[in-house]
Amino acid sequence: MGGAFSQLVMLGSSGMLVTALIVLWRKGVPAYITAYRWQSWLLAALTATVGYYGDGQLYWVAGLLLGLKGVAIPALLRTMQRRFGTEREAAPYVNTEVSLLIASVLVVFAYLLGRPWMAVTQLPTRQGLPLAMSVLFVSLFIIVSRKKAITQVIGFLMLENAIALLAVVGTFGVPFLVEFGVFLDALMGFLVMQIFIYHIHDTFDTLDVDALARLRH
């Protein structure tokens, strides 16, 4: 039982890492949205499998994950993307090759960081921990390096996914009340960011964050 379960978990979390890398690799916002949708679906599936092996409450969590992050948020992202019609990502600070290189360095760093944890826990899903950390660092890198406001929002959402993954893999899911609170925050955070993107578009008529550099010193 343990082997297949941990294999599945490994598969799921590495899948999420791959979707994060897609954002670094591709250049179009629609591609980022699909990457994010895939990542949320994988996370929901992973939570369900852990629920199957762990306690049953995680099914509800998986369902909530699927509904909110798998369907609702990508749809809102889609409408926003279509409305602002921003096809191509402006030239990011770091070109694709270098970003992927940095991503690999970050993954190695996550593994280095995760090494002491392996000794600590006997959970079958412990293989997923370093992966969760690497997804976290990669999404941080996305937020820092990409110029479009929408891409930064997607980076932030992927960061939320990474932490949810960490929770699921590390502790078989935090208590339900906390899970519900985190969902609420993620949703409200996203909604507020969406409102702000409309604000930015109205006042700056560009979503390029470099324009937001008037407040200095």
Partner 1 sequence: MAFGTVALLVMAAGYTLGAVLSLVARSDRAARVLTAVGAVVGGAGGLAAAVSVLATRVSVDAVLPTVVSAAGGIVIRLDPLGAFFLALITAVSLPAAVYGTTYMAEYDGRCSLRVFGLMFNAFLLGMSVVPCAANIFTFVMAWELMAVSSYFLVMTESEHSETRQAGLWYAAMTHLGLVLLLPMFFLIAAGHEATAFVDLRAYGATLTAGTRTAVFLLALTAFGSKAGIVPLHVWLPRAHPAAPSHVSALMSGVMIKLGIYGLIRVLFDLLGGGPAWWGGVLLAVGSVSALLGVLYALVEHDLKRLLAYHSVENIGIILIGLGAGSLLHSVGLRALAVIGWTGALFHTLNHACFKGLLFLGAGSVKQQTHTGNMEELGGLITRMPQTALYFLVGSAAIAALPPLNGFASEWLVFQSLLAGAHISRPEIAAGFPIAVGMLALTSGLAAACFVKAFGISFLAMPRSDHAAQARECHWSMRAMMLVLAGGCVVLGLAAPWVARGMSRIIDGVPGLSAGEPIPPSSSLWLTVPNSSAQVSPLLLAVLLGAITVAVLGAIHAGGLRVRRADTWGCGRISQTPRMEYTASAFAEPLRRVFAEVYQPTQDLSINMHPESRYFIQSITYTSHVVPWFEQVFYDPVIRTARGLAAQTRRLQAGSLHLYLLYVVAALVAALACAWWFQ
Partner 2 sequence: MSLILAVLLAPPLGASSLAILVRPYQRFVGWVSTIGVALSLAASIALCTTVMGAGPQQEAVPATALWRVDALSALLALCVTFVALVAMLLGRRAGHPDREELARTRYFWIFTNAFVFTMLIAVTIQNVALMWVAIEATTITSAMVIPLTRTKASVEASWKYLLICSVGIALAFAGTVLAYFDFVATAGEVPGALNWTVLRGAAPSLHPALLQLAFAFLLIGYGTKAGLAPMHTWLPDAHAEAPSLVSALMSGVLLAVAMYAIGRWKAVVDAAVDSSFTNRLLMGFGVVSVVIGTFSLVIQRHYKRMLAYSSVEHMGLVSIGLALGPLGAFAALLHTMNHAVAKSLSFLAAGRILHRYDTTEIGKVTGLLRVMPWTGALFAIGILALVGLPPFGLFVSEFLLVRAAVVTGRFWVAGLVLVLLLTAFTSLVHHLNRMLYGEPPPAVTIGERRGWSVTVLAVSVGVLIVLGVTLPRPVAALITQSVRGVIP
In the range 142-171, which residues lie near partner 1 by CB under 8 A?
143-145, 147
Using rule CB under 8 A, residue 56 touches partner 2: no
Which residue among 18, 140, 187, 193 contacts partner 1 (CB under 8 A)? 140
Q: Under 8 Å CB-to-CB from 81, ≥6 apart: which residues?
A: 29, 30, 33, 150
For residue 90, which phi and psi values (nearest 5 degrees)? -60, 160
Type of residue numbered 12: G
Using rule CB under 8 A, residue 90 touches partner 1: no
Considering the complex, state which of residue 96 and residue 171 has its C-beta at the smaller distance from partner 2: 171
Mask 85-124, x = binds partner 2 (CB under 8 A)? ----------------------------x--xx--xxxx-
Q: How far from the centroid of its chain's Cα atoms is residue 189's Cα?
A: 14
Which residue among 14, 27, 174, 206 contacts partner 2 (CB under 8 A)? 174
**Two structure tokens written together for 8:** 């599945």
For residue 146, which phi and psi values (nearest 5 degrees)? -85, 150
Q: Under 8 Å CB-to-CB from 49, ≥6 apart: which residues?
A: 5, 8, 9, 12
User: How many distinct helices (H) and strands (E) make up the chain?
Assistant: 8, 0
Residues forming contacts to partner 2 in the complex (CB under 8 A) are: 113, 116-117, 120-123, 129, 136, 140, 143, 149, 152, 156, 159-160, 162-163, 166-167, 170-172, 174-175, 177-178, 181-182, 184-185, 188-189, 192-193, 195-196, 199-200, 202-204, 209, 212-215, 217
